[in-house]
A and B are shown apart, each in its own frame.
Chain A
Amino acid sequence: MSELYEMTAWQLAEELEKGQVCSVDVTQSVIKRIETVEELVHAYVTVAPDRAIEMAKESDAKRAKGASNRLLGIPVAVKDNMCMKGQRTTCGSRILANFSPPYDATVVAAMREAGMVILGSCNMDEFAMGSSTETSFWGPTRNPWDRDRTPGGSSGGSAAAVSAGEAILSVGSDTGGSIRLPASFCGVSGMKPTYGAISRYGLVAYASSLDQIGPFGRDIRDLSLLLNLLCHHDPKDSTSVPRQYPDFTTVLETPVSGMKIGLPREFFSKLDHPDVERVMKDAQSVFQALGINFVELSLPHLDYGIAAYYIIAPCEASSNLARYDGVKYGHRAENFSNMIDMYRYSRAEGFGSEVKRRIMLGTYALSSGYYDAYYLKAAKVRSLITQDFRSAFQDCDAILCPVAPTPPFKIGEKIDDPIQMYLTDVFTIPVNMAGLPGLSLPGGFSADGLPIGIQLIAPHFEEVRLIQLGAAYQKETDHHLARPSI
């Protein structure tokens, strides 16, 4: 039998249910794994082993009293931008280095309620601004498959933790690809659900019209378990959409034959990496063998996605991050002569360079005289991108495309060239712009053995289609079973 930390949540749930193992065993196995490899990976900002064991004991006690759900006693890691009551939540930033939230984010409360074991907080790009987890105040996370390479970002710690066996499941957030990119780079499964499907109450805001929380796991079956727990209307989040969500596990066996997948020609014409091209061709063959029909289609405004995103997101960020003023919480400078200087010095000391860059960019774009040329123009282009998807989905059930233009890149390779870093997200950003659900699945490997993901996109609130297709795909492939040799 494999080590407990290597198993999926689904497998562990069966073992726990049978009474073969208890949550304390599972949690100890994962903690031991963290002690072995965390130094090499740096997936966490904060690991809380004692609390995790306490939570495991509580879940075992609940089970002994008859409680039973598939996530009871399963260890999970949480991105460091979701509030955990009384536990340091830093958002990868110096400005929140000592912040201890007085309340739980709704997703954290739901995981507690389900009896999950929270292992700690995962490393991330500062304020989720980045595509490589290099901008964290706490230093970069390393890709478990090749430690000279980035795990992708911004939820790089959450993806690396699942990949390296330092967590069974994890949650991250995705504003322009921050779940799907690290899932692709680390060889795990990850989903950004529809905007409004999972409560963001207690998620530290970056760009509120784009941010969405979502799950990471070793396979699609595990994602469906977490989605069942997390997709619920929350009165505390006014952007949470009130609707009934299906039981996502019921479509895991549903045949996909006859479904139609769209291939946007703009995405495929952009491919110039042979390994990514090969992985996409292989994925098409797999789906073809499953009885899927393909339709070529066009998303004509794809090329403008990055430009529009890097106006809209920094504008929203410059406004959202105005709250860090050194008054109610967060870092405050020691020396200043007046109130304005207190703000300015506190923020200059507390924020790192990528966050400052985006605050500058957003502030400039929103400043007097530039609003129409930048923000308003970008918001109009956003409408066009959304309309592209709307017409595309009249001809297909889902869209297949790459997650990223390349396999994982090297640490340091793009950090001094913001535009090159921003271009990493060319295939993921349009999905956030339109608020659609997007799934990232392991699709194969580069010639030198690095994971490459594939992306499936569905219309609003059609996560079931993604799960159905993902489950069918993973039955026919074994990329998701590969583990890094760390």
Chain B
Amino acid sequence: MRLTLDEVDYVALLGRLTLNADEKIKYMHQLEDILKYMDILSEVPTEDVEPMAGPIELYTPLREDVVAPSLSLDASLANAPARAGDYFKVPKIIE
């Protein structure tokens, strides 16, 4: 598996990361090596095998809809990097 720097850039954008020039080259080679290692999976015949998402039988647990205390506004906002009154402050999204 060969990767290009453009592909590395694209994956970094999808993953919401920025990489400097050194990181791009390092990750390009490391990802190539790791993906090459993953090739051994192609040895395993899996045509009739169901994929497995988790180790236990998942179900949707239901409970009574009971009113319970929730976090206060201040507790919810206490870790915010930027706050404006009772809101999380973020950069302008709509142009």
Residues of A within 8 A of B (CB): 98-100, 102-103, 195-196, 208-209, 235, 238-239, 241-242, 301, 303-304, 306-308, 310-311, 318, 322, 325-332, 336, 338-340, 342-345, 347-348, 351, 353, 356-357, 359-364, 367, 374, 376-384, 386, 418-419, 433-436, 460
B19 touches A348 (CB 8 A): yes
CA distance A383 to B63 in the complex (A): 31
CA distance A356 to B19 in the complex (A): 9
B31 touches A329 (CB 8 A): no
Q: What would 16 more interface pairs be, CB under 8 Å, given A235-B61, A327-B90, A418-B30?
A: A103-B71, A239-B54, A304-B40, A322-B16, A336-B91, A338-B91, A340-B16, A351-B17, A356-B23, A374-B38, A378-B41, A379-B52, A380-B51, A381-B44, A384-B46, A435-B55
Query: Residue B34 at the A interface, CB < 8 A?
Result: yes
CA distance A460 to B80 in the complex (A): 41
Task: Chain B residues near A356: list those with CB within 8 A.
Answer: 17, 19, 23, 27
A195 touches B81 (CB 8 A): no
A to B CB contacts below 8 Å, 28 in the list: A238-B60, A241-B56, A304-B40, A304-B41, A304-B43, A311-B41, A318-B15, A327-B81, A328-B80, A329-B80, A336-B91, A339-B92, A342-B91, A344-B13, A347-B15, A347-B17, A356-B19, A356-B23, A359-B15, A364-B35, A374-B38, A377-B41, A384-B46, A386-B52, A418-B30, A419-B33, A434-B55, A460-B55
How many contacting A-B pairs (Cβ < 8 A)? Answer: 160
Task: Chain B residues near A361: list those with CB within 8 A.
Answer: 31, 34
Query: Residue B50 at the A interface, CB < 8 A?
Result: yes
CA distance A2 to B47 in the complex (A): 61
Other-chain contact of B58, A100, A239, A331, A377 (Cβ < 8 Å): A239
Residue of A nearest to B72 (CB): A102
In the A-B complex, the 6 residue pairs with the closest CB atoms: A435-B55, A379-B51, A329-B79, A332-B81, A363-B15, A380-B46
A418 touches B34 (CB 8 A): yes
Residue of A nearest to B8 (CB): A360
CA distance A377 to B79 in the complex (A): 39
- Please give the distance in Å from B17's CB to the nearest CB on chain A: 5
Interface string of B54-87 (1 = CB under 8 A from A): 1110101101000000010001101111100000
Task: Chain B residues near A195: list those with CB within 8 A.
Answer: 54-56
CA distance A351 to B19 in the complex (A): 11
Known: A195-B56, A328-B79, A360-B31. A343 touches B41 (CB 8 A): no
Residue of A nearest to B51 (CB): A379
A304 touches B44 (CB 8 A): yes
Task: Chain B residues near A303: list those with CB within 8 A.
Answer: 40
Query: Residue B5 at the A interface, CB < 8 A?
Result: no
Task: Chain A residues near B21: list those with CB within 8 A.
Answer: none
Query: Residue B18 at the A interface, CB < 8 A?
Result: yes
Residue of B nearest to A337 (CB): B91
Task: Chain A residues near B90: list those with CB within 8 A.
Answer: 327, 339, 342
B54 touches A209 (CB 8 A): yes
